[in-house]
Chains A and B, each alone.
Chain A
Amino acid sequence: MYPSNFEYYRPSNLNEALELLANGECRPIAGGQSLVPLMKLRIVAPKCLVDLGRIESLRTIAIEGDVLKVGAMVTHEEIVESQIIEEFSPVLALTAESIGDLQVRNRGTIGGSLAHADPSANYLPTLLALEAEVVVVSPLARRVVPMADFVKGPYTTDLRQGELLEAVMIPRYRGRGIVEKFAIRKADFAIGLVTMLYKVIEGKLDDLRLAVGALATGPVRLRKVEEKLRGGELNPKAAEDVLKEEVALLQPVDDIHGGAEYRRRVIFTLVKRMLEGLARGRDNEGQVEDQWGGKGGRCGA
């Protein structure tokens, strides 16, 4: 499979890249783990590619005050292995680890994943729950977009012509996180995604955040469930009706990998299990067995 031909540029700094992208003919390429297959299948055929792979300023992981800044060209595997991220936001590392396989994680980047905005991208619910922001640059300006406004729908983002995703800003969340990815095989695209952040203070659930993904709308917070359980005893039964109600309103992707109704049931079950695990006093991070008997805790039936 050969893509159609294109012009290729490899700028060494951000300004050069923005200049090349300004005319609208060129598309940026990050790790290429989504774009290259799309080009090979001739679903897309950009006339010109601007390779962001050699722009060092996009590869940094840094803490600025109480915010973690992850450059757009940081790979998934770098996120998995980063000491800084392990300490600052372990739930981000868990999320990155659930993406594809090692080879894909070595090339694929957080910025590429977000800009591509595949509905089943693993980062989307986690970054929404973390209340992250996306830094977007153009030759004229730099703006910050909250995750809640960034993804508009499948493969559709707030990025405008000539803009480039520069970094992701993640505020510190002082609590625990659980990431669940439901897929037939671990490397497959997710059928259902749930990220839960929580704190338990004197037996009561505090600052609970529940976000779900693999939706046709972009990731969604389950606000009513959060509200119902926040500050209360850990009683998942109390939230079941609200959860049912809220999940019924979700618009999951509806395709050959799973119909919308099936995916709603998957999400309902994943959230219910998470809450039940929590209520049993079990830290179910890494404790849920997947269907192959592995202890991934983030994948499987």
Chain B
Amino acid sequence: MKVKLRINGEEREADVEPRLLLVHFIRDVLKLKGTHVGCETGHCGACTVLMDGKPIKSCQVFAVQADGTEIITVEGLERDGKLSVEQQAFVDNFAIQCGYCTPGMLVMTRYLLGKYEKLSREEIREKIHGNYCMCTGYVQIINAIEDAFRRAKGSEGKETGS
């Protein structure tokens, strides 16, 4: 079955079995290996991508269902070989231990930056609860997301959460 979608700004097309999951379409057909397969049961969020601007778990969607949509994966964040705001914030805040959850966390951060002007630490924790970090490096990850907000929104004020 034909699937045609726009991924990271590029039109791509392939003929696939209906049972092919979107995450495998992205990784194995389009060869974009940035999106990770974690738990495969819809819990961990490592496979998070943006579909028509909204974060979804690409292991919970068939590729055929994504026909005609616009997808953003972690590869779509950088511009001209330069790290994006969220990527730079993750590097600078050491928000990466094993790195497995990082693509999902980064894509989620991109969504949050586009959706909200400002989020408290508490709200950030709430928003990313569908993204697991099995290293439990959440403190640095939340620092990085806060920092990404500061950089992207240019505000100096730091929200204090509990």
Contact yes or no, B56 A103, CB < 8 A: yes
Q: Who on chain A is nearest to B54 by CB?
A: A106
In the docked arrangement, what's the CA distance between A40 and B20, Å?
11
Which chain B positions have C-beta within 8 A of A293?
A: 162
Question: What are the interface flags for B44-81 relative to A under an 8 Å C-beta threshold, 1 for contact and 0 otherwise?
Answer: 01001001001111001110110100000000000000
Number of interface residues of B (CB under 8 A): 31
For window 259-301 of chain A, which residues contact chain B by CB distance below 8 Å?
Answer: 293-296
Q: How large is the interface on A (under 10, 10 to 19, 20 to 34, 35 or more residues)?
A: 35 or more
B1 and A37 contact, CB distance less than 8 A: no
Measured in the bound complex, the distance between the Cα atoms of B55 and A295 in whole Å is 24
Interface residues of A in 40-60 (CB under 8 A from B): 40-41, 49, 51, 53
In the bound assembly, the distance between CA atoms of A5 and B16 in angstroms comes to 11
A104 at the binding interface (Cβ < 8 Å): yes
A5 to B56, CA, bound (A): 23
Q: How far is the CA of A7 from the CA of B125 in the complex (A)?
A: 40
Residues A102 and B1 in contact, CB atoms below 8 Å apart: no
- Give the docked Cα–Cα distance between A101 and B42 (Å): 10
CB pairs A–B below 8 angstroms (6 shown): A100-B130, A103-B57, A103-B60, A106-B54, A294-B126, A296-B126
Q: Which residues of B contact A (CB under 8 A)?
A: 1, 17-19, 21, 40-43, 45, 48, 51, 54-57, 60-62, 64-65, 67, 108, 122, 125-127, 129-131, 162
- A interface, CB within 8 angstroms of B: 1-8, 10, 29, 32-33, 36-37, 39-41, 49, 51, 53, 77, 100-104, 106-107, 185-187, 293-296
